[in-house]
Chains A and B, each alone.
Chain A
Amino acid sequence: DAGVTQSPTHLIKTRGQQVTLRCSPKSGHDTVSWYQQALGQGPQFIFQYYEEEERQRGNFPDRFSGHQFPNYSSELNVNALLLGDSALYLCASRLQGVRNSPLHFGNGTRLTVT
C-alpha cells in the first residue's frame, strides 16, 4: 500500500526564484493538504485541495499556489522566493468521504533558499 510520496526530497533555490513541489497521495485518498514546517516548529497549514479545487487556505500570501490533478496528485508552487520560505514542506492526504479522517503525511521536501 503506497503511502504519500513527495518529490524532490531536497531543493536549493535562490531568492526571487520559483519552485514547484509535487505530491502523490496515499492510495485511496482524494484530498491533499500542504503544510510548511519551520525548524523547531509544528506544521503550519497552507491549503487543502479536494475535487481539483482549493477548499481552504491558511495565512499564507498569494505567492503560494497549488493545483490538484484528476488522479488526485498535487503541486505546490511558490513564486518570488524569500529567505524565510526555507522550511520542510509536507504533503498530507486523507479520505474526504470519511468525516475528519486523520492526515497521513509524506516525508516532505526540504527547501533551502539562499
Chain B
Amino acid sequence: QKEVEQDPGPLSVPEGAIVSLNCTYSNSAFQYFMWYRQYSRKGPELLMYTYSSGNKEDGRFTAQVDKSSKYISLFIRDSQPSDSATYLCAMSETGGFKTIFGAGTRLFVKA
C-alpha cells in the first residue's frame, strides 16, 4: 500500500464549476499537508500549506485536512481554464526531511 493515494483522473469540468480533489494517507505521523500545482513541462508550484487538521482558504482555493480519517481535500471555486494542470498532494512528518507526494490528479477545465 502506498503511503499517499491520489486518484490520477483525468477530471474534466466546465468553467465556473467547483472542483474537489482528494488524497488519503496511511501514516498517522504526517502533520504538514501541502497542495502543489504542476503545469506541463514545469516544476510543482506550492498552492496551499497547512498544519494538522482544519481548513485554510486562499482566494478561490480551500484546503481541508481531516486527520481522524487520514483524508485531505482541495476545493477550487469558480474554476478557470488556466486552472487546467496536475494537482499533487504532499505531506511530511514533524522534523522530517522528506516530503511524500501523491501521484497527482490531472484537471481539465473546459471554456
Q: Which residues of chain B are within 8 angstroms of A41 by Cβ–Cβ distance?
A: 103-104
Q: Are A56 and B44 in contact (CB under 8 A)?
A: no
Q: Say yes or no: A43-B88 contact (C-beta < 8 A), given A99-B94, A100-B95.
A: yes
Query: A67 CA to B107 CA in the complex, in Å?
Result: 36
Query: A56 CA to B95 CA in the complex, in Å?
Result: 12
A: number of interface residues (CB 8 Å): 24
Least CB distance, B19 to chain A, in whole angstroms: 19
B: number of interface residues (CB 8 Å): 29
Least CB distance, A106 to chain B, in whole angstroms: 5
Q: Are B92 and A107 in contact (CB under 8 A)?
A: no
B65 lies within 8 A of chain A by Cβ = no
Q: Which residues of chain B are within 8 angstroms of A102 by Cβ–Cβ distance?
A: 32, 34, 46, 49, 99
Q: Are A105 and B103 in contact (CB under 8 A)?
A: no
Q: Which residues of chain B are within 8 angstroms of A42 by Cβ–Cβ distance?
A: 4, 6, 88, 90, 101-104
Question: Could you tell me the dominant secondary structure of chain A's interface residues?
Answer: loop
Chain A 23-74 interface residues, beta-carbon cutoff 8 Å to B: 33, 35, 40-45, 48, 55-56, 58
B interface list, Cβ under 8 A from A: 4, 6, 8, 31-32, 34, 36, 41-46, 49, 51, 88, 90, 92, 94-104
